[in-house]
Structure 1
């Protein structure tokens, strides 16, 4: 085990045992058997160390998500991803709280990768005609709700004794941004234009058309994104 790995392991062990999800650099140096200059040379400062600890701790979780093969039902994949996210948080509460701590000035790469993996699944929903809103909006809605539930269960478990709480929120959120597989777009109570624009935009991102130049494709995507975001807006009258 090299020095960097030793420092990360020591910091992780201290973080797991910490009652307030925090560690001191002095304690980390003592546990790792290194001097402070070495720690700061490798990680910059305490914020850099903690961000690296989060990335280190989330590697197994992210590796499993990277290796997961998409199913034929991308909406079910969203549900499964939500459940796995909450389960990881409950099993690793201190690392999870640190990952989303507003006091962490160096953003962990794990947070960005988790968001990107969710966005990829949302794009699959859009390409399958299953999304009600633009992929960017759906990703933000799902991630913020998923994170909020996980943090609530960690911070105030006594307030959420129902074991089905996470599933109830999950289903409500995902049902709000997706459409049933057997629901025709033209039968939806809202205008079908946003859903169609969302689907077409996702398909073009997945399989760029050689009939359009890069500039034309970018302009078309801009128009489709604008149409996709008009969900809930009444059509303009001429």
Structure 2
């Protein structure tokens, strides 16, 4: 893969930004190597030198999109609500708003599976999984963490796709609200299993221990006894080490 120049005015960055502008204004068909080179004030061979081919250029465009989105997303992290459910709503809205505002770039980002976008994509997933983990720790999740993350991603992408596939005169913003709340209902409980005023492993252990009788058919007697012992230690103790 060609080396990457990360300076602000590098030829590589100018090419990527020109490609993004053409993509946003004219769709994928507008992103020809000749058109991008002209928009960037360069000759077509420069694109092949920096990206190998058009696919390589689109990979760089997707990475650029992820990087820009993450920059905006991180800037908003300190502004998100302390309530993990509200934080989830806020994060979902950010993704959908980005997709609604950047239709073609969002589509390229979702199609890209190359290693070129892995770092930025993984960083986005880490933020998502962080939100899911906070929901789980507070006792809000009604499904497995991995499934919750998949539901959140799928509903966000589906909302954007449905919005853009609907004729403009028939688009109703309420659709996005309804889909978001359907996602919230699918992954979270009406009330947390861990009291809001408590945090840490002790209240979580107490909540799980209380639910153990309902899971008697899942665990063997020995497994349930051992798990009960572990949970009892955690529930009775906020961190005192055991010999």
The alpha-carbon deviation at position 22 of structure 1 amounts to 5.0
Greater relative CO, 1 or 2 (CA 8 Å, sep 6+): 1
Which of 62, 87, 91 is the equivalent residue of 1:77? 87
Q: Structure 1: give runs of 5+ residues left out of the alignment.
A: 201-208, 212-238
SS at match of 1:48: helix
How does the TM-score come out when normalised to structure 2? 0.69
Looking at structure 2, the residues matched to 157 and 20 of structure 1 have their Cα atoms a distance apart, in angstroms, of 20
2:47 corresponds to which residue? 39
For the 8 Å contact 2:66–2:109, the answer to whether it is kept is no
Matches of residues 157-236 of structure 1 in structure 2 within 5 Å? 157-158=167-168, 161-182=171-192, 191=214
Work out which of the two has the higher radius of gyration on C-alpha atoms and give 1 or 2. 2
The alpha-carbon deviation at position 143 of structure 1 amounts to 0.3
Q: Structure 2: give runs of 5+ residues left out of the alignment.
A: 1-8, 195-206, 219-226, 231-238
Does the C-alpha gap of structure 1 residues 90 and 13 become closer, same or farther in structure 2, counting only changes over 3 Å? Answer: same
Which of 92, 97, 117 is the equivalent residue of 1:87? 97
For the 8 Å contact 1:130–1:181, the answer to whether it is kept is yes
Deviates more, 1:45-54 or 1:28-37: 28-37
How does the TM-score come out when normalised to structure 1? 0.70
1:231 corresponds to which residue? none
The alpha-carbon deviation at position 33 of structure 1 amounts to 2.7
Which of 113, 126, 148 is the equivalent residue of 1:116? 126
- The answer on 1:29 being equivalent to 2:37 is yes
1:146-199 CA-partner distances (Å, limit 9, x unpaired):
1111111123245963221111111112211111345576899xx5799xx9xx
Matches of residues 54-69 of structure 1 in structure 2 within 5 Å? 54-67=62-75, 68-69=77-78
For the 8 Å contact 2:140–2:192, the answer to whether it is kept is no
Q: Number of aligned pairs?
A: 198
Looking at structure 2, the residues matched to 71 and 125 of structure 1 have their Cα atoms a distance apart, in angstroms, of 13
For the 8 Å contact 1:7–1:29, the answer to whether it is kept is yes
1:49 corresponds to which residue? 57
SS at match of 2:38: helix
